[in-house]
Amino acid sequence: MTRIGRWFALGTAALLTLAACGQGQEQGEGQEQGKQGLVSRGDIRIVMVTHGPPADAFWSVAKNGADQAARDLGVKMEYRAPSSFDVVEIQQLMESAIASKPDGLAVTIADTDALAPVVKKATDEGIPVVVLNAGRDVWQDVGALSYVGQTEYEAGAEAGRRLAAAGVTNALCINHQQGVVTLDQRCDGFEEGLGGTVKQVAVDGENPTQAQRGIEAALRNNPDANGMLALGPSGANPAVAALEGAGGQVKFGTFDLSPEILQAVIDGKALFAIDQQQWLQGYLPVFQLTQYVQYGVTPVGETPTGPAFVTKENAEDVLQLSKDGIR
């Protein structure tokens, strides 16, 4: 485990211990006092608005983390997301969440120009905000307490370096959700890390069959490509299927985890999967907002949840957790 990984593991353990202690106190002496800290946890309501529907393989895990945090802490949590990626609908969901006057708001800022002003409106009205997953570049500008997520550009660059070390010089970057700034950052970082030729390929991540056909067409149109990076399960799962007919000539890696992706890593069809630990991206904002509302305390700065790399050496250990909706 890297130094950052050890630091994060220790930090997370400390946070979870604090949560457990707070919960135990609330169930004991806190009950006699009527409330603990500034407000009772049972009265705290947190709303999480993301750009990813809960049915998505990635976001279902993030929602599981948020739901678990709410259960562990004894707070109310509402998850709101669009039926598909739609900036206007996300704006409306944020506006509605703000109007409901929650005690805390956790959000993704997938489109800076459209969504950052809405989040700033929330903090201007005194609603504490934690930004997760998308919005690392602007979380301080909008007045949020902290950011929970990974460094997207750097993660893409590391993916590029790993594929370059495997001999890749000409690669495709599969973007399954155009318009999401973090996905663009991953591709940009990938190009720098690879040091070779990268062509971005847009596919419809909401339609696996069409996505697979799009990737197959990209492979036919780019016969010199010897590498591919997908930016999430919605692109990776169709990519694995498309690569079945490529004869093993294309080295493949992807962002994020799913049981199908991990099985591909185990089977040698993928070199790695980048784990940004989205379960923690759901859990930690609920935890941080609860601590802030109840005690007025908050972490200073960002909480990195990735990137961590799952390879053939450790994919078996992660597979069951992924099936359980945790990894």
Return the pLDDT at 261. 94
Q: In the chain, which segments carry CATH 3.40.50.2300?
A: 3-150+277-306, 152-275
Return the pLDDT at 35. 60
pLDDT-based confidence at 1, cuts 50/70/90? very low
Return the pLDDT at 262. 96
Return the pLDDT at 249. 85
Return the pLDDT at 3. 40
Indicate the CATH number for domain 152-275.
Answer: 3.40.50.2300
Choices 3.40.190.290, 3.90.700.10, 3.30.420.40, 3.40.50.2300: CATH for 3-150+277-306? 3.40.50.2300
| SS3 call for 230 | strand
Q: Which residue has the higher pLDDT, 67 or 23?
A: 67
**Beta-sheet strands, E only, within 81-161:** 104-107, 129-132, 146-150
Return the pLDDT at 126. 98
For residues 311 and 50, the answer to whether their CB atoms sit within 8 Å is no
* SS (HEC) of 24-63: HHHHCHHHHHCCCCCCCHHHCEEEEECCCCCCCHHHHHHH
193-207 mean pLDDT: 95
- Hey, which residues does 252 pair with through a beta bridge? 228
Alpha-carbon distance of 315 to 306, in angstroms, equals 16
Return the pLDDT at 151. 92
Alpha-carbon distance of 133 to 27, in angstroms, equals 32
57-84 mean pLDDT: 95
Q: In what order do the strands lie in the sheet with 251-255?
A: 197-202, 170-175, 227-230, 251-255, 272-275, 308-310
Report the percentage of the chain scoring pLDDT > 90.
81
Return the pLDDT at 70. 98
Return the pLDDT at 31. 39
Instruction: Name residue, tokens 């393989």.
Output: 57
pLDDT-based confidence at 54, cuts 50/70/90? confident
Q: Label residue 135 left, alpha or beta by phi (over 0 means left) and psi (-120 to 50 means alpha).
A: left
pLDDT at 227 over 70: yes
225-239 mean pLDDT: 95
pLDDT-based confidence at 33, cuts 50/70/90? very low
Closest CA to 149 of 180, 173, 195: 180
277-285 mean pLDDT: 97
> Which residues, including other chains, have CB under 8 Å from residue 13's CB and lie 6 or more apart?
none
pLDDT-based confidence at 14, cuts 50/70/90? very low
95-102 mean pLDDT: 98
Report the percentage of the chain scoring pLDDT > 70.
88
Average of per-residue pLDDT values in the chain: 90
Return the pLDDT at 176. 94
Alpha-carbon distance of 318 to 282, in angstroms, equals 18
